[in-house]
Chains A and B, each alone.
Chain A
Amino acid sequence: MELLYAACVGLLVFCGVFLILRSRTFPVVLGLTMLSYAVNLFLFASGRLSLNSAVILGESTKYADPLPQAFVLTAIVIGFAMTAFVVILSIRGRADLGNDHVNGHVPENIKKGRV
């Protein structure tokens, strides 16, 4: 289970970082979303992975750490708000700058069709 979980987080971070390094805003926003998914999963794992254990004391002999779950909840809420903001900002950027590049202008080699 640990290996699968770690591989998932790693893959998400890989995709996220790759997309963030693109020059257009849409892939960058997608990349940020992927990165925040990866972070949420990672935070969740910081309380150790366990099966069939509730976060309530006394219900069973095994119990899970509730704090990382609270962290993840906070991180999800904040990440959601920030993603909404960056989506709106990119739309505004598209309108203000006339293109969807993060740098605000289309690089010469793309303009000429040489990608």
Chain B
Amino acid sequence: MIQHLTSLPVLLPMLTGIILLMPPCGKNKAIRRIASVTLGFITFFVSLALLFSVQTDGMQVYAIGNWSAPFGIVLVADPLSTLLVCLSALLGAVCVLYATAGDDEKGSFFHPLVHFLIFGVNGAFLTGDAFNLFVFFEVLLISSYALLMHGGDKKNTRAALQYVIMNLVGSAVFLIALGILYGVLGTLNMADMAQKVALLQGDDVYLAKIGGLLLIVVFALKGALLPLHLWLPNTYATAMPIVAALFAIMTKVGVYSMMRVYTFIFGEEAGQLTHMAQNWLWWLAVATIAMGALGVLASQDLRKLVANLVIVSVGTLVALVTVQTVEASSVAIYYLVHSTLVTAALFILADLIGHQRGKVADRITAGTPVSQPMLLGICFLIAAVAVIGMPPLSGFIAKIWLLKATWETEYGVIFWTLYLLASLAVLFAVAKAGSTLFWQHKATTNKHKISEHKLAEKAQQEGVHPAQLAALLILIAGAPLMSVFAGPLSEYAVGAATDLHNFNNNINIILLGGK
């Protein structure tokens, strides 16, 4: 059992999805919900077990079907990938928990689809094979297509159609890139590719360069990097908020793949192709932060604002990936976890606030007050402080650390100026959104004064469901916890980044099966 632990975070969500389709889960709503939430958390705990075993025994390689690398497909559980697997499993479990309050009945097959999405995401994190990465991308994409349409209306169909077409073109480009790389290198095992890239000579170098740069297009599309970010705000703002919260992990899959490809395969040891994508990615990342900040300022409703915050976080992450030092990669890992949790929490808050405000929903204008201002207000305050990056929460730690990591680089000054300006924009926009949503009520004052106790009644009627509250609190708790445990967490991040940059060790363990 223990030697198969590495494969369980991939297999469990898939089996869960299948179980949920079959009777008795397929027929009975209550059983389906209980089974979905329980199995979701079991996946999370199994991922945690994998995390601890990787911490004690070091990196683990699982050869599927016992076909060893580079001939078979391997799953590679190193500190970075297991951390992200835990994150996605947690997010999946929290999302199904939240949806049991009623969102799952707005369409069919919500629970199986979420688990299939987690299956794809976990597979993409763990796989050590580039073609397998493509397959897991498709698994997570087809679930995301269906989830995007879940409980949707006309606007939703339009956004989904564009999203699907964009991603199909992206898949075609991905396959072309893989074809070129296979034709040149003769392998698609990532460790083997990394080894062979350095040995390329003559025209093959340029072919490999084309293949590697085409991969930028694919990962930029998945990760929503400028100029391929245009699908994101529309898609995330029209999807159901809980689905958007789950999608918070999907852009990170693109960033993670960039880390793997441009830090490991085309990293330090890649001969003539060392750091070939860095210049492209750097400027694209900086431009993405700028566009995201402008988008945040221009957003008319809370969900669009959060969607633009996702773009800012992607830009920041990619900028960190391009710096290519252990310190920058450590910050990227810490920031990745922080931003995923906070944006997911904000999407959920947007849903709850929009629900309680009735007709105006989550548009940032004066309207009906929310019925539970205390609870939602405090949660929003915590999430806002974290996302802006003000002390004392996790966003501040990440910000200080990433400023420190980028100062030494070539374009440090540009990055500092731009990033701090973007932070200011985010601070302004989020503060304005918060004060408008919670404090500015429509001027029908006399009506409101009478309805003091009516408001309390309303709060009881449409208050936050216990399942929703639990899900929200788990995500919100992430920010203070990441701040309290910043010491061990940052140590873990540094360890994970060191492993990512330790080229020879990775090759040894993956290809030769030992030290």
Considering the complex, give the chain A residue whose CB is closest to the CB of B141.
A82
**B182 is contacted by which of A35, A68, A82 (Cβ under 8 Å)?**
A68
> In the complex the two chains form, is B182's CB within 8 Å of A92's CB?
no
Checking A75, A79, A102 against B165 with a beta-carbon cut-off of 8 angstroms, the contacting residue is A102
- Assess A86 versus B168: contact at CB under 8 Å? Given A42-B179, A43-B175: yes
Contact (Cβ within 8 A) B168 A82: yes
SS of A interface (majority) = helix
Residues in B neighbouring A115, C-beta threshold 8 A: none
Closest to A20 in B: B169
Roughly how many angstroms separate A70 CA and B128 CA in the complex, as a whole number?
18
Contact indicator A97/B158 (Cβ below 8 Å): yes
Hey, what's the 0/1 contact readout for B145-175 against A, CB within 8 Å counting as 1? Answer: 1000100011001101110110011011001
Residues from chain B with a CB closer than 8 A to the CB of A81 are 142
Is the C-beta of B466 less than 8 angstroms from some C-beta in chain A?
A: no
CB of B138 within 8 A of chain A?
yes
Q: Point out the residues of chain A lying under 8 angstroms from B161, CB to CB.
A: 25, 86, 89-90, 93, 102, 104
8 Å CB contact of B135 from A20, A74, A86, A89: A74
A46, A48, A71 interface centre (most CB from chain B within 10 Å)? A46
Question: Which residues in window 72-92 of A have CB below 8 A to B?
Answer: 74-75, 78-79, 81-82, 85-86, 89-90, 92
Shortest B105–chain A CB gap in Å is 20
Per-residue contact bits, chain A 12-40, to B (CB 8 Å; 1 contact, 0 not): 00001000100001001000100110110
Please determine whether A82 and B138 come into contact, CB atoms closer than 8 angstroms. yes
Interface size class of B (residues with CB under 8 A): 20 to 34
Residues of B near A85 (CB, < 8 A) are 142, 145, 164
Residue A67 at the chain B interface, CB threshold 8 Å:
yes
Given contacts A32-B165, A78-B135, A102-B165, contact A71 B171 (CB under 8 A): no
Number of interface residues of A (CB under 8 A): 35
What is the CB-to-nearest-CB distance from B150 to chain A, in angstroms, rounded to a whole number? Answer: 13
A108 at the interface (CB under 8 A from B): no
Whether B158 pairs with A20 at a CB distance below 8 angstroms is: no
Contacts of A89 in B (CB 8 A): 145, 149, 157, 160-161, 164
In the complex, are the beta carbons of A46 and B182 less than 8 A apart? yes
For A38, what are the chain B residues with a Cβ–Cβ distance below 8 Å? 172
Flag if A39 contacts B168 (CB, 8 Å): no
Q: Does A59 touch B at the CB level, under 8 Å?
A: no
Task: Confirm or deny: B176 has a beta carbon within 8 angstroms of a beta carbon on chain A.
Answer: yes
Residue B49 interfacial (CB < 8 Å): no
Name 21 interchain pairs, CB-CB below 8 A, sorted by A.
Answer: A20-B165, A28-B165, A35-B169, A35-B172, A39-B172, A42-B179, A46-B183, A67-B188, A75-B175, A79-B171, A85-B164, A86-B164, A86-B168, A89-B157, A89-B160, A90-B161, A93-B161, A97-B154, A97-B157, A103-B162, A104-B157
The reply to whether B158 and A93 contact each other, CB–CB distance below 8 Å, is yes
Q: List the A side residues contacting B264 at CB < 8 Å.
A: none
Q: Which residues of B contact A74 (CB under 8 A)?
A: 131, 135
Q: How far does the alpha carbon of A81 sit from the alpha carbon of B146 in the complex, in Å? A: 13
Interface residues of A (CB under 8 A from B): 16, 20, 25, 28, 32, 35-36, 38-39, 42-43, 45-48, 67-68, 71, 74-75, 78-79, 81-82, 85-86, 89-90, 92-93, 96-97, 102-104
Return the chain B residue nearest A81 by Cβ.
B142
Judging by beta carbons under 8 Å apart, are A32 and B169 in contact? yes
Given contact pairs A74-B135, A104-B154, enumerate 10 new A-B contacts (beta carbons under 8 Å): A35-B172, A39-B175, A42-B179, A45-B179, A78-B171, A82-B138, A85-B145, A92-B157, A97-B158, A103-B158
- Once the chains bind, are A71 and B182 in contact (CB under 8 Å)? yes
Cβ–Cβ < 8 Å partners of B145 in chain A: 85, 89
Q: Cα distance A97–B160 when bound, in Å? A: 12
Question: B165 near A86 (CB under 8 angstroms)?
Answer: yes
Minimum CB distance partner of A44 in chain B: B179
Give a binary string over B10-48; 1 marks a CB under 8 Å from any A CB, 0 the rest: 000000000000000000000000000000000000000
Q: Which of A67, A79, A89 has the most CB of B within 10 A?
A: A89
- Residue in A20, A39, A97 whose CB lies within 8 Å of B176: A39
| Given A90-B161, A97-B157, also A32-B168 (CB < 8 A) | yes
Q: B176, A102: Cβ atoms under 8 Å?
A: no
Contacts of A78 in B (CB 8 A): 135, 138, 171
A28 to B166: give the CA distance in the assembly, Å: 11
List chain A residues, Cβ under 8 A from B326: none
Q: Which one of A43, A92, A104 lies within 8 Å of B179 (CB-CB)?
A: A43
For residue A82, which residues in chain B have a CB less than 8 angstroms away from its CB?
Answer: 138, 142, 164, 168, 171
B178, A71: Cβ atoms closer than 8 Å: yes
Cβ of A48: which chain B residues have Cβ within 8 Å of it? Answer: 183
Min CB–CB distance A103 → chain B (angstroms): 7
A39 cross-chain contacts in B, Cβ below 8 A: 172, 175-176, 179
Task: Evaluate whether A46 and B142 lie within 8 angstroms (CB atoms) in the complex, with A25-B161, A89-B164 already known.
Answer: no
By a CB distance below 8 angstroms, the chain A residues around B455 are: none
| Across-interface contacts of A93 in B (CB, < 8 A) | 157-158, 161
- Residue interface mask B296-320, A partner, CB < 8 A = 1: 0000000000000000000000000
CA distance A112 to B359 in the complex (A): 36
Identity of the chain A residue whose Cβ is nearest the Cβ of B180 in the assembled complex: A46
**Chain A: minimal CB distance from B2 (Å):** 31
